[in-house]
Amino acid sequence: MTALDATPTRAAGAGATLEFVTIHGSWQRAARGAMLLGDDGTAQPSIFAEMSALAAATGAINLGQGFPDEDGPAEVLEAARQAITDGVNQYPPGRGIPVLREAIAGHQARWYGIHVDPEREVLVTAGATEALTATILALTEPGDEVVVFEPFYDLYGAVVELAGAKLVTVPLVAPHFESDLDALGAAVTDRTRLILVNSPHNPTGTVFGRETLELVVALAERYDAIIVTDEVYEHLTFGVEHVPVASLPGAAERTVTISSAAKTFSVTGWKIGWVIARPALIDAILSVKQFLSYVNGAPFQPAIAVGLDLPDAFFVDAAATLQAKRDLLIAGLTTAGFATSTPAGAYFIVADAAPLGRVFGEAGDAANFCRELPALAGVVAVPVTAFVRPEHRPQYASLVRFAFCKRVDVLEEAVARLGRLAR
């Protein structure tokens, strides 16, 4: 068999082009892991791409994708402009510029009492995306198991499959999306290599409490697994405390902490993330990371150092502003007839569309409902099933994720439009 299978997978006729030919390679594992490999062996567009295109085509308000529509702190933006002017435009050091690594270490000490060596225990990456990818590729062997809570961020499935490892899921059940500790205990075995904990959690907004996190640590110790955390929403919690796993007794030795500037400073396009772990783990992850991006974002690195050093008030206010937006959208969704959950963190509300009855549709399928929502109400959202493996989708079939990281006037307009569903 060649790299290009000569047999077109669809009846493409004489004008067959590459897109009609099966391309062999490990991309198929990545697509399958992200639940985007079609039955015919082709890559399907993600629901986010489909829904964003729908929003653009219909003029609907896009509450599907989780990116803010307002700029972050002026000091941070100005620092990036200044860095470009000052000529900070060439490859930065492989581990990230010292001033940013020191700011990341200082941030961990200030907020969580975690003390790390900026020289050997911090690695700057191209967003949390690269941090997660490099970590999973670096620390797993084919056949190893990676335990995650489900629904899960699509990247986890893609990279775990790319690595030849196996994703094992622990369900978070509506309406509260708490973890079942027995299910967690049963999922971790001596085949488990990584336990990946995303808290605050996308898409459910769950902020895992100490009991769950302590069990994660105990299980990791018992089975000699490594804990990987995805804490990109660490500062966006509403009245509850974010507890980094690495702050728990005994955890720091075996925890890889991952975070990012994207959500905290509303700079999702800058792609500055980081990894914090013991030196041997950082060295292992760096061995892969250096051949993914090598380095990134030279002028953005000093700017994020400025951001991390901002006074406490900035972080507290950002969470309070977002909480008010959450409450605005919850009220609107409730008035429109959805049953909503109240997320304790992150950017998203999971709403159950089943109570909408006929408007939701006979099929009882949130993916179809989301395709119709622009016509019904001029709003775009995404089905939670996009974050769930096909065999588990029935339990999540009526759930829809709405992002509330948008301007207040945009949310108000969305709420007014969603009100049409109630009529």
Ligand X SMILES: Cc1ncc(COP(=O)(O)O)c(C=O)c1O
Q: State the residues that interact with ligand X by CB under 6 A.
A: 66, 127-129, 153, 198, 202, 230, 232, 260, 262, 268, 271, 273
Task: Indicate the residue whose CB is closest to ligand X.
Answer: 127
| Least distance CB 173 / ligand X (angstroms) | 19
| Least distance CB 201 / ligand X (angstroms) | 7
CB 236 within 8 A of CB 91: no
Q: Which is nearer to ligand X, 172 or 232 (CB)?
A: 232
| Least distance CB 335 / ligand X (angstroms) | 27
Q: Which is nearer to ligand X, 272 or 415 (CB)?
A: 272
Q: Which is nearer to ligand X, 129 or 398 (CB)?
A: 129
Q: Which is nearer to ligand X, 72 or 273 (CB)?
A: 273
Three-state DSSP string of the chain: CCCEEEEECCCCHHHCCHHHEEECCCHHHHHHHCCCECCCCCECCCHHHHHHHHHHHHCCEECCCCCCCCCCCHHHHHHHHHHHHCCCCCCCCCCCCHHHHHHHHHHHHHHHCCCCCCCCCEEEEEHHHHHHHHHHHHHCCCCCEEEEEECCCHHHHHHHHHCCCEEEEEEEECCCCEECHHHHHHHCCCCEEEEEEECCCCCCCCCCCHHHHHHHHHHHHHHCCEEEEECCCCCCECCCCCCCHHHCCCCHHHEEEEEECCCCCCCCCCCEEEEECCHHHHHHHHHHHCCCCCCCCCCHHHHHHHHHCCCHHHHHHHHHHHHHHHHHHHHHHHHHCCEECCCCECCEEEEECHHHHHHCCCCCCHHHHHHHHHHHHCEECEEHHHHCCHHHHHHHCCEEEEECCCCHHHHHHHHHHHHHHHC
Q: Which is nearer to ligand X, 213 or 377 (CB)?
A: 213
In the block, residue with structure tokens 């901002």: 310
Q: Which is nearer to ligand X, 50 or 230 (CB)?
A: 230
| Least distance CB 273 / ligand X (angstroms) | 4
- Bridge pairing between strands 178-179 and 399-403: unpaired
| Least distance CB 399 / ligand X (angstroms) | 17
Distance of CA 417 to the CA centre of its chain: 28
Distances from the Cα of 276 to the Cα of 202, 304, 306, angstroms: 21, 16, 19
Q: Which is nearer to ligand X, 196 or 397 (CB)?
A: 196
| Least distance CB 230 / ligand X (angstroms) | 5
Q: Which is nearer to ligand X, 61 or 346 (CB)?
A: 346
Q: Which is nearer to ligand X, 118 or 127 (CB)?
A: 127
CB 258 within 8 A of CB 289: no
Distance of alpha carbon 300 from alpha carbon 271, whole angstroms: 9
Q: Which is nearer to ligand X, 116 or 197 (CB)?
A: 197
| Least distance CB 153 / ligand X (angstroms) | 4
| Least distance CB 250 / ligand X (angstroms) | 25
| Least distance CB 41 / ligand X (angstroms) | 28
| Least distance CB 362 / ligand X (angstroms) | 32
